[in-house]
Structure 1
Amino acid sequence: MKTTRTSILILLGVALAGCQALTPDHSPSATGDCNAAAVQELVGKQASPELLDQSRRDSGARVARLLRPGDVVTLEYNAQRLNLTTDEDGRIQRVSCG
């Protein structure tokens, strides 16, 4: 009787363990990592606060910033940040993460 109960408990434990996800979700949207490829079509468009916010959401990034010529920027890499680099007229020249 005791062996039967132990066997049943082991089988139930194995069955419940099989219900768990084996790999965590590391997709950009789940981790907040930036995907610049998703917003490359922005190159050549006029930058605006609305476009910056929309591109942040579309890229999966947690934060976004506009980089204009002459701006002082931090050099640390942040995989969760989208960068939109513009020219003097505010047209987007480059889209990158970091």
Structure 2
Amino acid sequence: MNIVRLAALMACNAILTGCQPPFGTAQPAGSNAGKCDASSIQTLIGEQASPALLDQARRKSKAAIARIVRPGDVVTMEYNAQRLTLTTDESLEILRVSCG
């Protein structure tokens, strides 16, 4: 009976450990360092995306990182509060500005 209980506890521990974020990725409580805010750059919709505009948008939105996503691009789908995304059409016209 004790072996079954020990095995069950070990299994639960393994499952819960897998749910933890990687070490060092958590932001301190109340910290907004690098947290993206796309509300201030919604005026970029309709503009032509470029590396210079992307960097300017990243700085203005206070995002830590930024990317341009065109139709058909393969992108990671995990949420990242520090990332700015400019979604464009084939001609690099900005269709959507978002964080995450």
User: Do the structures match in fold with TM over 0.5?
Assistant: yes
Partner SS, residue 96 of structure 2: strand
How far 1:88 sits from its partner (Å)?
Answer: 1.1
How far 1:25 sits from its partner (Å)?
Answer: 5.9
Partner SS, residue 32 of structure 1: coil
Residue in 2 aligned with 1:65? 67
> CA-to-partner distance for each residue in 1:52-80, whole Å, 9 max, x for gaps?
00000000000000000000000111000
Structure 2 CA distance for aligned equivalents of residues 54 and 34 of structure 1: 13
Residue in 1 aligned with 2:99? 97
Residue in 1 aligned with 2:11? none
Structure 2 CA distance for aligned equivalents of residues 75 and 25 of structure 1: 25
Q: TM-score, normalised by structure 1?
A: 0.70
Q: TM-score, normalised by structure 2?
A: 0.69
Residue in 2 aligned with 1:79? 81
Q: RMSD value over aligned CA atoms?
A: 1.2
Structure 1 CA distance for aligned equivalents of residues 50 and 77 of structure 2: 23
- Which segments of 5 or more consecutive residues in structure 2 lack a partner in the other structure? 1-28
% identical aligned pairs: 62
Whichever of the two has the greater Rg, that structure is 1
Structure 2 CA distance for aligned equivalents of residues 74 and 51 of structure 1: 22
Structure 2 CA distance for aligned equivalents of residues 38 and 80 of structure 1: 15
